[in-house]
């Protein structure tokens, strides 16, 4: 197929592009390189462009004759969304609207959307189901809710249009073959920060909150390997092509690890005993955030390959050591 990948020079997008290339699909990566990296694009053609430039976007899509869109191009740092909310509404909502208007005009039938567990906020039930009420607590989460609603409304208005929104939990790891991985100068994700502490790029690692109602007092999160997540996008596209109903799906393994467990595993994998300090809770961090993944397992016949915390960290560490 001819598949158009926005944000394909970024962390998750570049893994998706690699998988699509290996599967024999024709790929165009559309990325403004604000947070993406040209060297991560291992397959397909990279077009440097911005979703805000609607006419250029339309020209590229029309010329390529895209059959499906996989949309990763979003701003994703929660703390930044609180400090700069309009930036997030501009990029995550307005630019997605531009893309969807072009999709409608050109009659492109399939759309896979990168959503987030941030739409749930602090859920009252764990594990979290897709039917759990959406109560985001930051602008980033709100933008994802708005985008999902736009997609849902499009399916009612335009019968040719079909979508899947994948609600990611905590994405981590790197390509086991070492072709791509995560590059971040100011990482916010736990595993990457711990690895940078192990490398000595950070003076140490802070654990935010040690008095949560969990076995060791730290938050519990559901970590999914980035290659399993990329594979899920491919399964979602195949599902739509075969006539599957549009909708939303949680993307997580359905099990969690505490912050302390992750830190200990990073120390074990790296062999580095970096300093760890305790800090107060961050506002809005739920004690436990774990996916109920039964819908995606049953609907897509999903069998993830890399559900292993040690393997997730090993692949991330191998990548981090080289970059």
Does an H or E element contain 162, and which?
Answer: strand 162-168
In this predicted structure, the answer to whether residue 26 has a pLDDT above a threshold of 90 is yes
Residues with a catalytic annotation lie at 140
How far apart CA 235 and CA 3 sit, in angstroms, is 14
Q: Which CATH architecture has domain 2-172+223-251?
A: 3-Layer(aba) Sandwich (3.40)
Q: What is the pLDDT of residues 173-225, one digit of tens each?
A: 999 999 999 998 888 899 999 999 999 999 999 999 999 999 999 999 999 99
Q: What is the pLDDT of residues 31-49, one digit of tens each?
A: 999 999 999 999 999 999 9
Mean pLDDT of 116-139: 96
Question: Which of the 8 DSSP states describes residue 59?
Answer: H
Mean pLDDT of the chain: 97
Global pTM exceeds 0.95: yes
* Confidence at residue 284, expressed as pLDDT on a 0 to 100 scale: 83
In this predicted structure, the answer to whether residue 96 has a pLDDT above a threshold of 90 is yes
Does an H or E element contain 241, and which?
Answer: helix 226-241
* CATH topology match: 2-172+223-251 vs 190-222+254-292+305-322: no
Binned at pLDDT 50, 70 and 90, residue 253 comes out as: very high
Q: Are 190 and 309 in contact (CB under 8 A)?
A: no
* Confidence at residue 323, expressed as pLDDT on a 0 to 100 scale: 85
Range with the lowest mean pLDDT among 4-18, 82-96, 168-182, 184-198?
A: 184-198
- Assign a CATH topology to domain 190-222+254-292+305-322: UDP-galactose 4-epimerase; domain 1 (3.90.25)
Report the DSSP beta bridge partners of residue 250: 167
Residue 49, φ and ψ in degrees, nearest 5: -160, 165
How far apart CA 319 and CA 181 sit, in angstroms, is 6
How far apart CA 172 and CA 191 sit, in angstroms, is 7
* Confidence at residue 166, expressed as pLDDT on a 0 to 100 scale: 98
How far apart CA 203 and CA 206 sit, in angstroms, is 10
Mean pLDDT of 152-177: 97
Instruction: Sketch the domain layout of the chain as residue ranges.
Output: 2-172+223-251, 190-222+254-292+305-322
């Amino acid at each position: 197929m001819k598949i158009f990948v926005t944000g394909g020079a970024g962390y998750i997008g570049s893994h998706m592009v690699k998988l699509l290339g290996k599967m024999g699909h024709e790929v165009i990566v559309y990325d403004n390189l604000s947070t993406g990296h040209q060297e991560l694009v291992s397959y397909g053609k990279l077009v440097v462009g911005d979703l805000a430039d609607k006419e250029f976007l339309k020209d590229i899509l029309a010329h390529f004759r895209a059959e499906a869109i996989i949309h990763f191009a979003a701003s994703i740092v929660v703390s930044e969304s609180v400090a700069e909310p309009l930036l997030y509404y501009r990029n995550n909502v307005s630019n997605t609207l531009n893309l969807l208007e072009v999709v409608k005009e050109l009659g492109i039938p399939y759309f896979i959307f990168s959503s987030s567990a941030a739409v749930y906020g602090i859920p009252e039930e764990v594990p979290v189901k897709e039917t759990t009420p959406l109560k985001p607590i930051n602008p980033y989460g709100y933008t994802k809710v708005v985008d999902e609603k736009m997609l849902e409304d499009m399916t009612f208005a335009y019968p040719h249009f079909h979508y899947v929104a994948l609600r990611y939990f905590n994405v981590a790891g790197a390509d086991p073959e070492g072709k791509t991985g995560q590059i971040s100068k100011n990482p916010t994700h736990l595993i990457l920060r711990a690895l940078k502490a192990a490398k000595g790029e950070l003076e140490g690692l802070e654990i935010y909150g040690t008095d949560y109602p969990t076995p060791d007092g730290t938050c519990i999160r559901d970590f999914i390997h980035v290659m399993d997540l990329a594979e899920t996008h491919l399964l979602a596209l195949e599902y739509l092509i075969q006539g599957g109903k549009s909708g939303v799906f949680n993307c997580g393994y359905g099990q969690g690890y505490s912050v302390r467990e992750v830190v200990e595993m990073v120390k074990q994998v790296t062999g580095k005993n970096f300093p760890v300090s305790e800090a107060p809770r961050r506002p809005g961090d739920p004690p436990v955030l774990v996916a109920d993944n039964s819908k995606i397992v049953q609907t897509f016949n999903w069998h993830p390959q890399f559900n292993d915390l040690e393997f997730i960290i090993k692949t991330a560490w191998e990548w981090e050591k080289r970059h």
